[in-house]
């Protein structure tokens, strides 16, 4: 099978991978739930390529993300639920409906200040239509938090849940109160450690993460962006340790934890004394 710019070829390839008997054994074992983590991962890799300004990589990552859409559509078609064409039709209909100022049959241009208002109104109408199509048991209880989408990354969704709850006053007024909650959750983790309670540790760790997101919200920090920056900082400092040991003709395995910790602190010291311009370059890498 030869490569092609035509989306239909990609759909054919996915169908071949999922074909009983002749398809790929791994692909045949997958379902929506097992593929979902890969879908999230590919979306993050698209963001990473954008952050690095690597357009060649962005092309590749967008292809990987497109494959995820085709994969889910193929599995849905096998269940006779919908096909890839239905996905395309749904999004094109939605875009046309949400942009009447662009696609109106007559002169339907809107002032820029009104575009967002129309977008929000149409989204609300679409949400109501989807709710009306669901079985009664799914719409019997309308929680304030129901509008917070479940498919978001956990840190982002925690932020949105907290923001929504804060609209009715269920919130702290002082970041220091959140800090006290963080200390409380840390104490509960220590208690779970003392009990050797693995389930309790998992639950309390989740509570601590939720409280940390709350602190980020109260200090106007984006938890996802903050954690990405810290990940980059960790990689940068760890690479410093590797380079320093390599200069000594040694490997990581040959160094003690105390030695690596000393090099880590040296990396921190170098970052503090580096020129401001150089620091900004390091953050972008």
Closest CA to 115 of 128, 96, 99: 99
Helices (H), the chain: 7-17, 25-29, 32-52, 55-78, 84-98, 100-103, 112-133, 136-139, 154-166, 175-195, 198-218, 223-247, 257-273, 276-284
Asked: is 8-82 a CATH 1.10.287.1080 domain? The reply is yes
pLDDT < 70: residue spans in the chain: 104-116, 119, 130, 134-141, 151, 275-285
Q: What is the pLDDT of residue 278?
A: 42
Three-class DSSP category at 102: helix
pTM score, whole prediction: 0.59
Q: How many CB atoms lie within 10 A of CB 155?
A: 19
Q: Tokens at residue 174, please?
A: 């002082």
User: Would you say the CATH fold of 154-219 matches that of 8-82?
Assistant: yes
Q: What is the pLDDT of residue 255?
A: 97
Q: What is the pLDDT of residue 225?
A: 85
- Which helix (H) or strand (E) covers residue 199, if one does? helix 198-218
Q: Give the residue carrying structure tokens 């954008």.
A: 50
DSSP code at position 111: -
Q: What is the pLDDT of residue 99?
A: 81
Asked: is 154-219 a CATH 1.10.287.1080 domain? The reply is yes
Q: Tokens at residue 26, please?
A: 């791994």
Annotated domain spans of the chain:
8-82, 154-219, 223-273
Cα(45)–Cα(41) distance, rounded to whole angstroms?
6
């Amino acid at each position: 099978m030869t490569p092609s710019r035509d989306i239909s070829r990609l759909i054919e390839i996915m169908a071949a991978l999922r074909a009983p008997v002749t398809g790929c054994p791994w692909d045949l074992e997958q379902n929506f739930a097992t593929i979902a983590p890969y879908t999230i991962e590919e979306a993050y890799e698209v963001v990473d390529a954008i952050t690095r300004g690597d357009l060649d990589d962005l092309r590749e990552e967008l292809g990987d993300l497109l494959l995820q859409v085709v994969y889910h559509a193929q599995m849905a078609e096998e269940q006779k639920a919908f096909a890839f064409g239905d996905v395309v039709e749904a999004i094109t209909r939605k875009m046309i409906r949400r942009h009447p100022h662009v696609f109106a049959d007559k002169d339907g241009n809107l002032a820029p200040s009104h575009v967002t208002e129309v977008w929000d109104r149409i989204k609300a109408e679409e949400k109501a239509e989807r709710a009306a199509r669901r079985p009664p048991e799914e719409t019997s209880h309308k929680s304030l938090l129901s509008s917070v989408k479940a498919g978001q990354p956990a840190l982002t969704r925690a932020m949105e849940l907290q923001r929504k709850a804060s609209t009715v006053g269920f919130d702290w007024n002082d970041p220091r109160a959140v800090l006290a909650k963080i200390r409380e959750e840390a104490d509960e983790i220590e208690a779970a450690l003392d009990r050797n309670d693995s389930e309790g540790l998992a639950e309390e760790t989740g509570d601590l993460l939720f409280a940390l997101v709350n602190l980020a919200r109260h200090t106007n920090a984006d938890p996802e962006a903050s954690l990405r920056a810290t990940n980059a900082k960790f990689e940068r400092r760890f690479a410093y340790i590797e380079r320093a040991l390599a200069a000594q003709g040694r490997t990581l395995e040959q160094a003690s934890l105390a030695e690596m910790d000393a090099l880590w602190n040296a990396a921190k010291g170098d970052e503090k004394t580096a020129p401001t311009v150089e620091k900004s370059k390091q953050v972008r890498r």
